[in-house]
Structure 1
Amino acid sequence: MPVSEDSEQEIPGQSLAIWTEVLYLSNLLIAPGLAFLILLWLYFKRSANMPTLALCHLRQTISASVWAGVLLVIANITIILLGGYAAPKTWVIVIIYFTTCHSTLVLLGVLGLAKAMAGQKYIYPLVGRPCD
């Protein structure tokens, strides 16, 4: 079936929405901290004139990144309270954290990326913010 010209047109803000989701996944998997700083820079410097699709994805990724940081701090506090990093319980906490919290946040990022590539808004369950 031939591709129509309409299907090749980009929705306003779609490429920026894709980049915000890629930065979120990079924050979780490749460059923690650095990718988050870039997301914050985008929010503070460019959000005023950003299309609604991109702004929605940017707000979701920042909110989810903050929650990821909070959950990581909670996991570290739990490790310290239960005997420190030398205790055998440490690995149990680390494995539980990565198999539940971290994996869920990565999966939400992949779903957000798929929605951004489709040109649709996406609100992360539990950790997302409402879009206008």
Structure 2
Amino acid sequence: MDPTSEAVAEESQALAVAAESLYLVNLMIVPGVGFLGIAWLWLTKRKQAGALARCHLDQVFFASLWAGLLLIVANIAIILLGGYDSPNTWVVAILYFTTCHTTLICFGAIGLARALAGKPYRFPLIGRPCDA
């Protein structure tokens, strides 16, 4: 591999790692702020990024949209089941966090490991096809 293509591959891998890291930040540390970072990377870097970075950017962007949609659905379920003062709130919240949220975090951890290894990753069920 020539030095130029090696530099492009390293840059693509660094962008993939950044995207996966922001995905985990969005889910676990600073929701919303992490998504803004993902959206900014997706909008500004995706077109000129290498195949590996494009794959990871697409995965985390659309998985973040799914995560937001699932959170909205959980809140609607809470409201329909009696509001936030109802005991049903805890049932929905615990089910959401132990199934949906935890699964999305596990997918993100696997995606980060794959990005660190320089390999593409497609989220199960919700992932989009990659060209990497």
TM-score (norm 2): 0.90
Instruction: Find the counterpart in structure 1 of residue 100 from structure 2.
Output: 101
Q: Percent identity?
A: 54
One-letter code aligned to 1:127 = I
Task: In structure 2, list runs of 5 or more residues that go unmatched.
Answer: 1-5
Q: How much does 1:87 deviate?
A: 0.2
Q: Could you tell me how far apart the structure 1 residues matched to 2:44 and 2:57 are?
A: 12
Moved over 4 A (4+): none
One-letter code aligned to 2:96 = Y
Instruction: Find the counterpart in structure 2 of residue 121 from structure 1.
Output: 120
Instruction: Find the counterpart in structure 1 of residue 80 from structure 2.
Output: 81
Instruction: Find the counterpart in structure 1 of residue 69 from structure 2.
Output: 70
Instruction: Find the counterpart in structure 1 of residue 25 from structure 2.
Output: 26
One-letter code aligned to 1:14 = Q
Instruction: Find the counterpart in structure 2 of residue 3 from structure 1.
Output: none
**Residue-by-residue CA offset, 1:56-114 (whole Å, 9 max, x unaligned):** 00000001100000000000000000000000110011001000000000000000000
Q: How much does 1:124 deviate?
A: 0.2
Q: How much does 1:44 deviate?
A: 1.2
One-letter code aligned to 2:101 = H
Number of paired residues?
124
1:97 aligns to what SS in structure 2?
A: helix
Q: Could you tell me how far apart the structure 2 residues matched to 1:15 and 1:51 are?
A: 11
Q: How much does 1:48 deviate?
A: 1.5
1:49 aligns to what SS in structure 2?
A: coil
Q: Could you tell me how far apart the structure 2 residues matched to 1:122 and 1:53 are?
A: 9
RMSD: 1.1
Instruction: Find the counterpart in structure 2 of residue 17 from structure 1.
Output: 16
Q: Could you tell me how far apart the structure 1 residues matched to 2:42 and 2:14 are?
A: 15
Instruction: Find the counterpart in structure 1 of residue 43 from structure 2.
Output: 44
TM-score (norm 1): 0.90
